[in-house]
Amino acid sequence: MLLVAEGLTKTYAHRRGWAPTLGGRRVHDVVRPALADASLSLERGESLGIVGESGSGKSTFARCISLLERPDAGRVLLDGTDLTALGAGALRRSRRRIQVVFQDPYASLNPRLTVGSTLREVLLVHRLVPREQVALREAELLDQVGLPARAVDRYPSDFSGGQRQRICIARALAADPEVLIADEPVSALDVSIQAQILNLLADLRSQLGLSMIFISHDLHIVRYIAPRIAVMFGGRIVETLPPGVPLESARHPYTQALLASRSRLEPGWLAGAAQLNADLSASLPTVGCPFRGRCPHAFAPCRDVDPPARDIGQGHAVACHFVAGASRS
């Protein structure tokens, strides 16, 4: 097992300033964690997809796995090494092993550095190639992501969104990572460019044997790239679909709602789509199943106990009392 994340939890508290305020400190009520006891495992060369909407905790999960933020609880083991236990220096050195491609290609590149400088810095800081070979490696990386060698002297502003994302991917590859986390890498791009980047990621994965975690709100994109899918809601993984299990076989009410609501190429699909009919503006409950406010099947246990993930066959896991009850009977 290359990467194991165990029980990652992260809460963003509303912090008051360090100086006492005029009105005194207010005892703030319990804040729902952005990420609650989330775990995953990734084999070498495997691709895992994470699907979730905004607020599902998927980005927090990505940041905690890559240790860009320290989780409040839980561990992250990379090839046996506990990254959460590392000191600052050792952690910094280990960072190159897990690389992230972010959502916004326009903000992710330093506008004052040329493409070449950006790539060179990675190679030199981590001493990945001897100095004489740096230029060669830069050209290699650019070629791998489908950019011409002359891009080396250009600034990010000379490139379009899709091309900038390629540069970001090249930068991530320059670090020679073992795990690549792609956090909504195509959401900010046009549809026809999305396909190009998705193809690129798929190609790189097979050429380089990369282990990948692909995060998106789009079920179809995730299914295309990753055979195994984890669905997140309210800071938890609510369903895990193994390869081979079609999306349509999803059992968690939230996944089913996602499937029913997704836009498709079918004319007039809206008329036939199921309706959730819940007040989506209400904030999520802090106790029990986070989905219970919107779930058509919510019943007594949902209010008190956060459902644990239960395997319902061949690695298909669902965290739902209703589904657990149904599969038992």
Residues 262-291 that bind another protein (CB under 8 A): 262-271, 273, 275-276, 279-281
Q: 1 to each of 5, 43, 76, 79, how far by Cα in Å?
A: 11, 5, 12, 7
Q: Which C-beta is closer to another protein: that of 126 or that of 310?
A: 126
Q: Which C-beta is closer to another protein: that of 264 or that of 303?
A: 264
Q: Which one among 47, 60, 194, 240 touches another protein, defined by CB under 8 A?
A: 194
Of the ranges 20-28, 33-41, 103-111, 132-140, which one interacts with another protein (CB under 8 A)? 103-111
Letter for the amino acid at 219? Answer: L
Q: Which one among 64, 221, 295, 323 touches another protein, defined by CB under 8 A?
A: 221
Helices (H), 109-240: 115-125, 134-144, 161-174, 191-208, 219-225
Cβ at position 51, least distance to another protein in Å: 9
Structure token pair of residue 327: 């599969």
Cβ at position 328, least distance to another protein in Å: 28
Q: Which one among 57, 71, 162, 185 touches another protein, defined by CB under 8 A?
A: 162
CB atoms under 10 Å from CB of 235, counted, come to 25
User: Using the rule CB under 8 A, is 214 a contact of another protein?
Assistant: no
Sequence-distant (≥ 6) Cβ neighbours of residue 279 within 8 angstroms:
293
Q: Considering only residues 1-20, where is the footprint of another protein by CB under 8 A? A: 17-19
User: Tokens 């149904």 sit at which residue?
Assistant: 326
Q: Which one among 21, 23, 127, 192 touches another protein, defined by CB under 8 A?
A: 192
Q: Which one among 32, 75, 217, 310 touches another protein, defined by CB under 8 A?
A: 217
Distance CA 122, CA 107 (A): 18
User: Using the rule CB under 8 A, is 175 a contact of another protein?
Assistant: yes
Q: Which C-beta is closer to another protein: that of 45 or that of 148?
A: 148
User: Using the rule CB under 8 A, is 31 a contact of another protein?
Assistant: no
Cβ at position 311, least distance to another protein in Å: 26
* Strand bridging mode 310-311 / 317-318: antiparallel
User: Tokens 């916004």 sit at which residue?
Assistant: 104
Site string for another protein, 114-153 (x = CB under 8 A): -------xx--xx-------------------xxx-xx-x
**Paired strand residues for 62:** none
Q: 212 to each of 66, 217, 305, how far by Cα in Å?
A: 12, 16, 33
CB atoms under 10 Å from CB of 144, counted, come to 18
Q: Which of 317, 310, 280, 281 is nearest to 295 (CA)?
A: 280
Q: How many residues make contact with another protein (CB under 8 A)?
A: 83
Q: Which one among 41, 81, 133, 199 touches another protein, defined by CB under 8 A?
A: 199
